Structure 1
Amino acid sequence: MKPLFVPSPQSIVQKFIDVWFNGYTGAPLWQHILISTARVFGAFLLACVIGIPLGLAMGMSPIMRGIFDPPIEIYRPVPPLAYLPLMIIWFGIGETSKVLLIFLSVFAPIALGARAGVRSAAIEQIHAAYSFGATRWQVMHHIILPSAMPEILTAMRIGIGFGWTTLVAAEMVAATKGIGYMVLSASQFLQTSTVIMGIFVIAAIAYAFDMLMRFLERRLVPWKGKM
């Protein structure tokens, strides 16, 4: 195969070393990684702060589910590239539109995962807690939330994957730094080794976070899969 289409592993490693020390488009590789990571994890944390409480509320309240479930289910299948123009029109070409685009791709899996996790709580435990005088907040904190944690953590792992998938689309417009920008820019100049190197960098970061989430899962919900 011609190196233009499938570069050798040695050339990919050499390109990584070259970009690490010499940078790409005037910025070092660590800076591209840092900016992209900040965009993805900023959107991810925002999605967790909003999506988890909303998902729990949707799971516990038919009214909340009736209000928020239809719009989430409507926009969830729409690919991020479809509403990228709206993000640019409404929020400009700055960081806000990029973070919000990633946020929308992460938010739906987390909210729906939290909603589904509420169903894991045994109704007998909830009734028993109420019979002993527990308040609604105590039932939420001691029964529903621990029962929903496995589903929530799984949804977080899925959501961060969607976030990295959307990163390239988010960095298509007016971005001058970032891993997604680097991959797109290199593809326009047929720098295949840089494209593949960027893909491996994104995969390595995503895999490291997935391992962290699995570690937290073992620590926070050690009973998962044992009951």
Structure 2
Amino acid sequence: MKVKNKNKKQVLSMMTWVIILLIWWIVTNTGLIQSQLVPSPQKTWETFIEIAKNGYNGTSLLGQLGISFYRMFVALFFALFAGIPLGLLSGYFLTFQAIFDPIVQFYRPLPPLAYYTLLVLWLGIDETSKVTLLFLAAFAPIYVAGVSAVKQVKEDYILSGQSLGASKLQLFFTVIFPSCLPQIFTGIRTAVGVSYTTLIAAEMVAATSGIGWMVIDASRYLKSDVMFVGIIIMGITGILLDLGIKKIESLVIFWGGKE
């Protein structure tokens, strides 16, 4: 039954994209929408091939993507390194939560670009300010997921470990941490999405390279075909990132879905 539903979902998803592409082709090739506003699918494809071969503004397409992903992955590394331990500790010990939770809850609702100007003022316009911005954007979801995950660990699991003589350290690593992993991965997926959108916005505001900068630079010269190429690449790479995290999650949490 699950296989049948999965196949049905895949067919519906493919049909959705076929219909979108068909509508796109019709409205652009019949003159319903001006090509300056929305380029045709074939024009977008030709532009993609051109950028893939010759790059944009002296930098290859892989180079533009590499710059963007370098910024994001460096920030995510530090966000994971700090967010997971602090989130788990804050969920496990009220002292840690009392110290770190007010800070995270204060800046978490703020739009990242609202304090990006301050980061640029303090750290300059180079990579340090961008990586710091992405770190802050990614840290909050991971931290909150860690705190929430600890509080949702079933008490029966903890009592069973204690009855078997497990120490607090053993209890943490053998019971609490594995129980928290599913929710932590949910926080990581959220953090990747938030940091990616923040990255693109930051590159559009203050950058001279990256896939987000390519789109905003093309908009200044009304190159809608380049803009569409950049936006489509952003969407595809975002999907691939999420699929990659799902794959890692299925490997790490190998017991997921099993009773």
Provide the TM-score with structure 1 as the length reference. 0.95
CA deviation profile, 1:30-72 (whole Å, cap 9, x unmatched): 1001110111111111111100001001110111111111111
Measured after TM superposition, the shift of residue 226 of structure 1 is: 4.8
Match of 2:126 in 1: 94
Q: Distance in 1 between matches of 2:199 and 2:219?
A: 16
Alpha carbons 1:80, 1:169 under 8 Å: kept:
no
* SS of the residue 1:171 aligns to: helix
Partners of 2:36 and 2:182 lie apart in 1 by 45
For 1:63 and 1:75, the matched residues in 2 are separated by: 20
- 2:113 counterpart (73, 81, 94): 81
For residues 145 and 9 of structure 1, what CA distance do their matches in structure 2 show? 48
Most deviating of 114-123 and 178-187: 114-123
Kindly report the root-mean-square deviation, in angstroms, between the aligned alpha carbons of the 2 structures.
Answer: 1.5
Residue aligning to 1:104: 136
How far did 1:5 drift?
1.3
Question: 2-side partners of 1:64 and 1:93: how far apart?
Answer: 33
- Which is worse superposed, 133-142 or 37-46? 133-142
CA shift digits 1:98-147 (9 cap, x unpaired): 11111111111111011111123221221232233322221111111110
Counterpart Cα distance in 2 of 1:183 and 1:63: 46
Task: Supply the distance in 1 between the matched residues of 2:104 and 2:257 (Cα, whole angstroms).
Answer: 29
Shift of 1:15: 1.0
Deviation at 1:16, TM superposition (A): 0.8
Is the 8 Å Cα contact of residues 168 and 184 (structure 1) preserved in structure 2? Answer: no
Equivalent of 1:214, from 246, 254, 258? Answer: 246
Structure with bigger RCO (C-alpha 8 Å, 6+ apart): 1
Residue 55 (structure 1) aligned with residue 91 (structure 2): no
1:6 to 32, 38, 41: 38
Q: Does 1:21 align with 2:53?
A: yes
Residue 124 (structure 1) aligned with residue 156 (structure 2): yes
Out of 53, 60, 63, the residue aligned to residue 31 of structure 1 is 63
Q: CA deviation at 1:217?
A: 2.0
Identical aligned residues as a percent = 41
Does residue 175 of the first structure (1) align with residue 211 of the second (2)? no
Q: Is 1:141 aligned to 2:185, yes or no?
A: no
Q: Deviations over 1:1-46 (max 9, x none)?
A: 0112111111111111111111111111110011101111111111
Distance 2:166 2:258 in 1: 27
In structure 1, distance between residues paired with 2:156 and 2:232: 48
When normalised by structure 2's length, the TM-score is 0.83
Alpha-carbon distance in 1 for matches of 2:170, 2:232: 45
Match of 1:113 in 2: 145
Q: Distance in 2 between matches of 1:174 and 1:39?
A: 14
Structure-2 separation of matches of 1:74 and 1:187: 35
Secondary structure of the corresponding residue to residue 207 of structure 1: helix
Contact 1:93 1:173 in 2 (8 A): no
1:152 matches 2:201 = no
Unaligned residue ranges in structure 2 (runs of 5+) = 1-32
Aligned residue in 1 for 2:197: 165
By how many angstroms is 1:173 displaced? 5.0
